């Protein structure tokens, strides 16, 4: 595809990283030369220094032959206007990043009136991911498929886990639960496990399951399955606003700590059911006064990665809270992942994954049917949801008879309101929603899981 990306900030840079590895023709636009150079000097993309809402700039970038324009500058209105001009000038699809909460209730209206294919709010998307963790604190991360009926839950094997030393082929027989182990992260190694896989301490495991079966599974291995009753949010930015709103709707008591008096006034008015404290979230005495030692949930959401890391480390030391840490920069991820930070959320990666799913689903319109896409294991593993078509090469054949590529696992089949954890004799049928986990390659269509 010919793709134009307007805005070379954190999200724009991450998008170029992802899309350039998938053989798309990329042109980036930004008013700051150093941002453009940072991308064009290190990645396969052309760069233009200019304003993305300028008609001549868009023409120079090739808008007349572009397939997709993605506007991810720091200005919502500029992103929307850029998409409108692109639609008028060319025939491409458009995606806009829009963060201001005032547009949140108008997303469908804006998409329809402006002809925008997708409007993505990074703060809302990140808050949604965090809320899933606080609703199911046994998991480090929860990814949903089949309209929420199937979940991919990630958790770490603790030193006292009954799973230690157990072989995978004994799992469901021993625990009498219906879950499928999809992936394992052991240090820097990624494993698509077979029956001989043995659970080790600190393995990060992902399982596919219904929520009911997942609760049963976690109960039997002795971990908490009920949602947190209260949560402290350090930092009162947009993610905290969206997260607090979501948690309050589920009956969770929320305390927000922010140092800016004006922001605290706004949050107090916008979130009357939340407790808003004006103060320094890194003040240990203040955290203690607000009950950190007894908190069930804690999210470090300030604007500084260093603060967030220290806050989560401290929270894990003094409390049993389920912790979430927001990280903006992607440097030193291998070190960060080895720290005791609970769940780690990268807002720009979440945003890029949403956009990448759209690109995958439209790159080859004849065959592509990607419904959802999540990057796992630092981007090395992909979990994808497909809708099976009648003429699909995988339809109507028992899984045991399919010649699947290495490091490929069909994790779950959703059919007629029934979730199927598949065995060898099960088949994918037309209309099924199917969850597939792959490692070491990428696909645009379900039939690409087959060996040539």
**What pLDDT, in 10s, does the model give residues 425-436?**
999 999 999 999
How many CA atoms are closer than 13 Å to the CA of 81, on its beta-carbon side? 11
Top CATH class, 127-220: alpha beta
Q: What's residue 155's pLDDT? A: 93
Query: 397-407 pLDDT, tens per residue?
Result: 999 999 999 99
Query: What is the β-pairing status of strands 141-145 and 93-97?
Result: unpaired
- Residue 223 and residue 247 in contact, taking contact as beta carbons nearer than 8 Å: no
Region 360-449: CATH code: 3.30.70.1450
Same fold, 127-220 and 360-449: yes
Region of poorest pLDDT, from 148-157, 233-242, 252-261: 148-157
What values do phi and psi take at 46, rounded to 5? -90, 150
In this prediction, residue 94 carries a pLDDT of: 95
Q: How far apart are CA 233 and CA 259, in angstroms?
A: 12
- DSSP of 245-257: HHHHHTT-EEEEE
Phi, psi of 292 (to 5 degrees): -60, -40
Phi, psi angles (nearest 5°) of residue 346: -110, 100
State the alpha helices, DSSP H only, in 275-345.
Answer: 284-289, 305-318, 333-337
What pLDDT does 407 receive?
93
pLDDT of residue 364: 55
CA angle 37, 42, 43 (to 5 degrees): 100
Q: What is the pLDDT of residue 363?
A: 64
Instruction: Please give the C-alpha separations between residue 179 and each of 21, 264, 411, in angstroms, as whole numbers.
Output: 33, 44, 9
Select the more confidently predicted residue: 126 or 354: 126
Q: What is the pLDDT of residue 192?
A: 92
Integer distance in angstroms from the first to the last C-alpha of the chain?
24
Query: CA of 79: how far to CAs of 13, 83, 94, 110, in Å?
Result: 16, 6, 10, 12
In the CATH hierarchy, which top-level class contains the domain 2-120?
Answer: alpha beta
pLDDT, mean of residues 126-154: 92
Please give the biggest Cα pair distance in the chain: 66
CA–CA distance, 392 with 360 (Å, rounded to integer): 17
> How open is the CA angle 172-178-183, to the nearest 5 degrees?
80
What is the fold, at CATH topology level, of the domain defined by 230-345? Rossmann fold (3.40.50)
Q: Is the pLDDT of residue 187 over 80?
A: yes
Give the mean pLDDT of the chain.
Answer: 91
Residue spans per domain, the chain: 2-120, 127-220, 230-345, 360-449
Give pLDDT tens digits for 66-112: 999 999 999 999 999 999 999 988 889 999 999 988 888 889 999 99
Distances (CA, A) of 248 to 136, 238, 438: 15, 15, 36
For the entire predicted model, the pTM comes to 0.87
pLDDT in tens, 239-297: 999 999 999 999 999 999 999 999 999 999 999 999 999 999 999 999 999 999 999 99
Quote the pLDDT of residue 365: 45
Whether residue 231 has pLDDT greater than 50: yes
Mean pLDDT across the stretch 7-34? Answer: 92
Sign of CA dihedral 45, 48, 49, 54: negative
């Amino acid at each position: 595809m010919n793709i134009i990306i307007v805005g070379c900030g954190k999200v724009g840079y991450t998008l170029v990283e992802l899309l350039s590895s998938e053989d798309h023709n990329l042109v980036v636009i930004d008013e700051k030369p150093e941002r453009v150079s940072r991308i064009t000097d290190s990645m396969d993309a052309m760069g233009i220094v200019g304003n993305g809402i300028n008609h001549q700039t868009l023409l120079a970038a090739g808008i007349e032959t572009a397939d997709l324009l993605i506007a991810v500058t720091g200005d919502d209105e500029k992103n929307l206007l850029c998409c409108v001009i692109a639609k008028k000038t060319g025939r491409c699809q458009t995606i806009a990043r829009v963060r201001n909460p005032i547009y949140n209730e108008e997303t469908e209206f804006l998409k329809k009136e402006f002809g925008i294919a997708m409007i993505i709010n990074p703060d809302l998307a990140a808050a949604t991911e965090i809320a899933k963790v606080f609703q199911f604190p046994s998991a480090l991360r929860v990814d949903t498929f089949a309209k929420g009926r199937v979940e991919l839950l990630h958790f770490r094997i603790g030193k006292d886990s009954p799973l230690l030393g157990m072989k995978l082929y004994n799992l469901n027989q021993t625990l009498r639960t219906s879950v499928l182990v999809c992936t394992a992260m052991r240090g820097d190694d990624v494993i698509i496990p077979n029956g001989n896989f043995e659970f080790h301490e600190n393995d990060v495991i992902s399982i596919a399951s219904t929520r009911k079966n997942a609760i049963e599974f976690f109960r039997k291995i002795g971990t908490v399955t009920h949602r947190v009753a209260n949560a402290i949010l350090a930092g009162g930015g947009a993610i905290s606003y969206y997260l607090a709103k979501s948690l309050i709707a589920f009956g969770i008591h929320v305390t927000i700590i922010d140092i800016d008096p004006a922001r605290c006034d706004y949050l107090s008015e916008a979130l009357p059911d939340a407790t808003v404290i004006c103060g320094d979230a890194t003040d240990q005495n203040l955290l203690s006064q607000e009950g950190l030692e007894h908190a069930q949930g804690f999210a470090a959401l300030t604007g500084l990665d260093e603060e967030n890391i220290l806050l989560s480390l401290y929270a894990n030391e003094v409390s049993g809270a389920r912790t979430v840490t927001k990280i903006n920069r992607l440097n030193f991820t291998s070190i960060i992942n080895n720290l005791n930070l609970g769940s780690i959320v990268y807002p720009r990666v979440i945003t890029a994954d949403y956009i990448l799913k759209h690109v995958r689903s439209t790159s080859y319109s004849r065959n592509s049917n990607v419904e959802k896409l999540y990057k796992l294991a630092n981007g090395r593993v992909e979990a994808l949801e497909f809708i099976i078509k009648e003429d699909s090469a995988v339809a109507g054949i028992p899984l045991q008879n399919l010649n699947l590529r290495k490091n490929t696992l069909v994790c779950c089949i959703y059919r007629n309101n029934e979730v199927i954890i598949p065995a060898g004799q099960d088949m994918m049928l037309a209309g099924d929603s199917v969850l597939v986990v792959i490692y070491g390659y990428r696909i645009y269509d379900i039939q690409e899981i087959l060996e040539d």
